[in-house]
Amino acid sequence: MSEQVQENQNEQQPQVQFAMPNHAQRRNMLRRQKVLKIKNEMNAMSSAAVEFREAQRENGRKIHESNLDRLEKSQAEFVESKLTDVKAGWTKQGYNEEEIDMLAEAWMLTTFKNKETWKSDKKKARQLMKQADESKNQRRN
């Protein structure tokens, strides 16, 4: 009986992902473990010191990549949730699926700005919104 309760508790607990420690935090951990003191006593060009630096550099690169991936994933989820909310609003306003697709493309063009193409993106977005409005008005008349 207690095993079932324990399994239910494990299922209910959300899994939280913590960010990997940044450079300063990793350095403080090494300092508390006295690793930096030992490293500083070594010759800077010794094989052990060189291996330590390379290992730390590689570890930092992996942590940075995982943090970027995590950030990109969370931003994509956020944008998807916002887009679904906006699409629900357009549906309430009376747009059909084709018009919603045009409005969604326009929304994407205006939400994500590219310095080289922002003027043309803005023009295209306005054109798509105008087409969607015209299509909606034609259906009503």
DSSP string, 48-105: HHHHHHHHHHHHHHHHHHHHHHHHHHHHHHHHHHHHHHHHHHHHHHT--HHHHHHHHH
Q: Which domain holds residue 117?
A: 94-141
- pTM of the model as a whole: 0.61
Domain co-membership, 23 together with 69: yes
With CA atoms as reference, report the closest residue to 107 among 51, 115, 90. Answer: 90
In a domain, 100, yes or no: yes
How would you class 139 by CB atoms within 10 Å of its CB: exposed for 0-12, middle for 13-18, buried for 19 or more?
Answer: exposed
Domain co-membership, 22 together with 67: yes
Counted domains in the chain:
2
Residue showing tokens 């747009």: 95
In a domain, 30, yes or no: yes
Domain co-membership, 106 together with 135: yes
Domain co-membership, 108 together with 69: no
In a domain, 84, yes or no: no
Full pLDDT tens readout for the chain, 141 residues? 455 555 555 555 555 556 677 889 888 998 999 988 988 888 989 898 999 999 989 988 998 898 899 999 999 999 999 999 999 999 999 899 999 999 999 999 998 888 899 999 999 999 999 999 999 999 887
Biggest CA–CA distance in the chain, Å, is 84
In a domain, 9, yes or no: no
